[in-house]
Chain A
């Protein structure tokens, strides 16, 4: 058993061993530089995901940066143009806000603007999600607006096994990949082999098979959907539970095939509802699978508000198993 955090850490180390051009950069990725203790690796990333890398790979490949997100993203893009495979960490996905130009105007567009004559093999790691009372600027799931950008790939693993295989694919991929790591999943464990492996982008996982309804869920919501389905099993309700794993590219076929069988769709996402991945999946099914539908599509999302701080409010903000179960029952009525 390995945690999501350990799986990502191991993959970074394995890929850095495999390919000298892989570097890691970001704020406190090792930590301790210039500190009074003289200790390096004092942080290993704020969530400990990059711990130990500097010891093996040195400070030329594990680069602690100033708190300068535009420079981190720009440097990742520029280093990729010059032949490296940078894995850049934004300490919190929310910090895309101070570096967005370098992501969506620069690295996303290099290949197209330059007529296909270059590659931009960057991975941006983005710790994401609510659940730790980190409030409005450290808790968001901001993948919808990155998913909307042509040129970027967007990966959202829901468990440690997938995180490992998808990160290996991301690092070996020649396009810029936004790799969202849900913070609440870091300690969650499952069986993860030690040897390296890859998982193809654009291939959803059918987590459970059932007849009555199709449930599509992302990241932390996959586990919550499983809990919801456990609670409904006694009532004889079964569902296809689909984890897209990557939302750009998106495996539309698996979702449409499932809806063709079940005729009903619930999409579960922690993001805000407007212009979201959930809304996008609903639109795809409405456009391409309308004749399969026996009931209106139901979306289970956070409300159209910033992420609140207080425990009670944050619990109400994040969709939970009870919300998902209620939505499933509603589309079955």
Chain B
């Protein structure tokens, strides 16, 4: 058994929390009560959770515009996140960041990021800090297939190799960068081999298989903690929703999403594996699902009831002092 029972249950709880959070947001956004953009992570849960299963609160991650899953996986408060997405004053960022900017330094979550490719340079900086501080800590950045084409990401990978930083570049290849296929936009055969070209260990795994991600991330995180420098992991996955909520997804063949929900379902894969191996009983997993659904219900009702920011908040937090 690669993980203990409690760890397996915790991983499943996180993946289910992400799935339920996102599926519920899909409904809530359609109600019109959530302003702005929402980019949902449903389908990719095994990536965020497989990686963060190796990280503590004082390890860091940098995330993307599709960041809810990374936040939940890193331990951000689900109710605080929901309030933030609803633009509430007691949301995780006081209603000033919203879906695309959720951050929580106390959990080592350096921020979702609305700029594609914005996160890896920041992650490299956090890795410079922990390397200097001798903390033995690791920083992981998450980037999509779209972000993998940004120059900022190339710069960050090269700098990480030059300075042999304790960092892991996770590439989540969900098949589409915005409304354009990765097959078209990623010029190399795959993203992992391109990362390897920068001089780091890189591998490609099935991002719908929690255990495959967990094992690859374990190798990379261990390498980083032991001073072996950066690594990259490309996780092939899918997203069950559009680039953003409201995206008509005309670039996807009819039936693709339904087919992916059946064939590329990391939760179903997880259940199948732990049942087959007799690691966990189905009723334990069912109990987790019931518990998570009630948490998400509570998050939505608390977020709906929470107060909006005060207008005085408009001009605070720009500077520490000015």
Contact = CB atoms under 8 A, between A and B. Distances in A.
Contacts, number: 156
A86 interface: yes
B105 A117 contact: yes
A113 B67 CA distance: 14
A68 B158 contact: yes
Which residue, of A82, A102, A110, A119, has the highest number of chain B Cβ atoms within 10 A?
A82
Interface stretch (A69-77, A190-198, A261-269): A69-77
A84 B129 contact: yes
Interface stretch (A58-66, A231-239, A309-317): A58-66
A55 interface: no
B158 A81 contact: no
A235 to B, nearest CB: 41
B322 A249 contact: yes
B125 A153 contact: no
B295 interface: no
Contacts of B95: 115
Contact of A78 (B129, B163, B321): B129
Nearest to B157: A71
Given A23-B132, A80-B125, A116 B316 contact: yes
Interface string A41-55: 000000000000000
A117 B103 contact: yes
Given A111-B320, A114-B101, A71 B158 contact: yes
Contact of A61 (B60, B101, B132): B132
B121 A82 contact: no
B312 interface: no
Given A66-B159, A70-B152, A84-B129, A115 B317 contact: yes
A47 B94 CA distance: 44
A114 B111 contact: yes
Nearest to B114: A105
A78 B317 CA distance: 18
Interface residues of A, number: 45
B143 to A, nearest CB: 13
Interface in A182-233: 202
B110 A81 contact: yes
A72 to B, nearest CB: 8
A151 interface: yes
A66 B93 CA distance: 34
B320 A119 contact: yes
A118 interface: yes
Interface of A: 23, 25, 60-61, 63, 65-66, 68, 70-71, 73-84, 86, 101-102, 105-106, 110-119, 150-151, 153, 173-175, 202, 249
Interface of B: 60, 62, 91-97, 101, 103-105, 110-111, 113-115, 118, 120-133, 139, 151-152, 155-156, 158-159, 162-163, 316-322
10 contacts: A60-B132, A63-B128, A70-B156, A71-B155, A74-B152, A82-B139, A84-B129, A112-B96, A173-B321, A175-B322
